[in-house]
A and B are shown apart, each in its own frame.
Chain A
Amino acid sequence: MDKPIGFGYLSGNIMVINPEIKVLPTSSTQLSLNTELSEWIALLHNQSLSLSWTDFKPWCFRHLQKLCPFDSGLWWSRSDLADKEHAHWAEDTSLFNQSAEFMQNYADIAARPNNPDPLNRHLNTNPGTFFSIWDVMDKARWYQTDYYKEHCALYGIENAISVLTLPSSCSNVSHIFSFYRQRAEHEFTVAEKSLLGSLLPHLLQAFSCNLLSSLSHANQAALSGVIDRYGEIIVAEEGLRQFMLDKGMLTGNRITLPNLQYISGPTKLQLDDMALDLSFHEGLIALQVHQSSLAAKLTPRQKEICQLITKGLSNKEIAHLLGLKISTINNHVQQAFKVLKVHTREAATAYLVKLELC
C-alpha cells in the first residue's frame, strides 16, 4: 500500500513525488519563510529554557513585536479541566502594556448576560484562527457596542485581534492571545494575522517547555511534570505518564494524589517506595518523582550490574565477572541508564551511592 509522506508518497521502497499534492493553493496569503524567521523561532525556544515562568510571557510579547507591531496585548492560559467550574484554579494571565484593572474591567463586562465581547463567540467556534474585530462586525456597529465604549475606548484599543487555541499533544492548556493597536487607521492585515497564526505551534511548544524547565528545576535524576490542583497533567516529561500508569495512579490524564487541594508550599510526599516533591505556583503544581523510585524499577540483573558500576568496574570486567557477553552487559547498562535517566556512569554512581542503594 502506498504510504503518503508529505508532498510525496512511498511506493514499496521507492519514493514518488505526487504532483497533485504539490499543487498548492494560490489564493491564500503568502508568507515568507526566511532565515530571519528561523532565527526568531530558534531564539524563542532557546529563551523558553532559560527564562523564569514569570519572565517568559513578557519576553514573548517583546519578541513578537519584532514580527508584528502592536501596542498592547494579552496572553491568557489555563489548564483545561473536565470540571470547567474550577478552571480558574490553574490559569495565568500576562498583560503587556496594560494596567492590572484592564482584566478586572474585562471580567466585569464579560460576566454580563450575552457576553458583549464580539470576538468571544467566534474564538470558541474557530480555534486556531486569528480574528480581528472587523472580521465579525462593521465599524459603525463596533463603535456603538458596550464593549467598545466601556472597555476598549477606556484602554485606548482601536484595533484588536484574538485567537483561541485548544489543548494539544504538547500541553493540556488552552490559550487566548490578543493583540491591540491604539490607532484606528492601523488595522491588522491578513498577512499579519496569518503570520502570527502560523507561529502558534512554536509559541505553545515554547510555553510548555518553559513551564516544565522553570517550575520543575530540571533535575536529571527525577521525572518531572506540571499538574493542576486536580492532578490533571498539564505538561509532563516523557516517561512520567507511563510511570504513573505502572503505579496505578493515572486515570485518563489525571494523577491521583492525596490532599492535592490543600498543598500551598513545597511538600514532600512518600508513597510506598516513591518519593515525590511537590511545589505550588499560582495554581500549578510542579511534580518530581525521585530517583529512589526510579531505581526501584531496575530489574535484579540491572541492579546487580549497577552495583558493580559503582565499584568502578568497566563493562568488560563486569562481563568477565558475571560470565556474560560484553554486548549483554552493554544492553543491561543502557537499559538501566534509561530507567535511571542518567547518561554517564558517574551520574549513575553518584545517585545510587547517595541513595545508599548500592
Chain B
Amino acid sequence: MAMADFTVPASVATVLNQISAAIYRLHDLAEVAEFKAQALYLLTETVAFDHAFWLCCAVDSEPEQQRLGYDFDAAKGVGQWHRNGAAKVTEHDGQSLCDLSTIQCGEKHRLDFEIGLDRAKHQLTLLRHEQNQPFDSFDADVTRFMVENMVGAFDLLLHHRLAHIPKENCGRAICDQQGRVLKADSEFIEWMCRQFPDWTMAQSIPALKQDPEQGLGLIAGSAQSMMLNVAIDGDLHQLKVYQTKGPQAEWDKLTPTEFDVVWRLSQGLTPKQLAKLKGLSVSTIGNQIDSIHKKLGFKKNTEVIEAFIRAGLLDPDKDDN
C-alpha cells in the first residue's frame, strides 16, 4: 500500500515533521494510555478518522484472541484499553465490515498498518464511518509516515521507561502481555540466560505465569535463586529480576579444594573417578562433599550441580562479569 517514493511539497513535509516531533515529545508521559491517546490525537491533525485501534506486542508474539489494545475515539478525543477487538482486527480480509464490539456499526473504511521496530511490532487500524470518504493512497502514505514516527516515539518511551525503572541490583525489562521481551538491559538478559540456559528472547519469560482469572496479565513468580517483580501499565509489563540468594556469597563459603570438587562433579565426574584423579581415598572425597552440602544447605549432589551450573560457574569465561 505504501509507496517507497511518496513525495509531498516541502511545506507539507515541514508540517508533518512538526507533528511527528510533537509525538516524540510525548515519550516521557507517565502512562502508556496517555501516550497513545495524545499521539493518536496528534495523528488526527494529519489524517481524518473516526476510530483507531492500536496494538503492540513483541515481534515473536503468538496470535491470540484476547489481546489488549488501545481503542481511540477520534470524535471524542478519548480512548480506552480494550480486549476483544484484536482478533477481528488481525483477521480482517481487507474488505469485510468492521464489527469491533465497542464501535458502533456502520464503519467500514479502514486502513491497516503493521510496523516493527527493534523487538516491538505495532498494529494500527484506522476506521472511518461508512458515510465518509474511503481512505485514499495519499491518506495511506501520510499515515504510514506518521505511524512510523509514532512507532519510533513508542520505542523512545520504552527506552525512557527502562532507564527509569529503579535499579537496585536488578535486571530490568519491559515485556508484552505474553511475557515476551520488548526491551531489556544487559543485566536482565544475562540473568535470564544464566538461570534458564534454554531461554531465548523469542520465548515468554519463564517463571511468569498468565493470570488464569483475568486471562491476561502476568504474575510474578520465583524460581531458584531469582525473583521476578512485575508492574503493569496498560499492555506493558515492567519486570525486575532480583537475586534472592547471592550465589556468589554462597559459593564463597567453600574452600578452594571444595570448590574444585564441585566444579569437577559438575563436569560429570563421579566421586570415585574424582578420588582416583586426585589420588585421594573415596571417603575423603565423601567428607568434602558432606561439608559442601552442609555449607550450601543441599542434600543431594544433583542439587549442588544444578545450582552450580545455573550460577554460571561451570564456564566462568562465558559470562564473566
Contact = CB atoms under 8 A, between A and B. Distances in A.
B88 to A, nearest CB: 22
A7 B48 contact: yes
Nearest to B139: A7
B28 interface: yes
A350 B166 contact: yes
B30 A341 contact: yes
Contacts of A237: 28
B164 A220 contact: yes
B17 A199 contact: yes
Contact of A201 (B21, B49, B129, B233): B21
B87 interface: no
B238 A204 contact: no
14 contacts: A5-B44, A14-B131, A15-B48, A15-B50, A28-B9, A28-B10, A42-B149, A45-B24, A195-B10, A197-B10, A213-B160, A220-B165, A343-B233, A346-B231
Interface in A324-356: 338, 341, 343-347, 350
A31 B50 CA distance: 29
Contacts of B128: 15
B241 interface: no
A170 interface: yes
A46 interface: yes
Contact of A46 (B16, B155, B229): B155
Interface residues of B, number: 65
Closest 10 CB pairs of A and B: A8-B48, A42-B152, A38-B148, A194-B10, A344-B231, A201-B21, A30-B7, A220-B164, A198-B13, A28-B9
A116 B10 CA distance: 31
B151 to A, nearest CB: 8
B5 to A, nearest CB: 6
A125 interface: no
Given A15-B129, A38-B149, A41-B152, A33 B6 contact: yes
A163 B1 CA distance: 36
A110 interface: no
A345 B230 CA distance: 10
B48 A201 contact: no
A195 B14 CA distance: 8
B74 to A, nearest CB: 7
Interface in B250-307: none
Contact of A205 (B10, B14, B25): B25
Interface stretch (A16-24, A140-148, A150-158, A297-305): A16-24
Contacts of A347: 165-166, 231
A31 B10 contact: yes
Interface string A52-71: 00000000000000000000
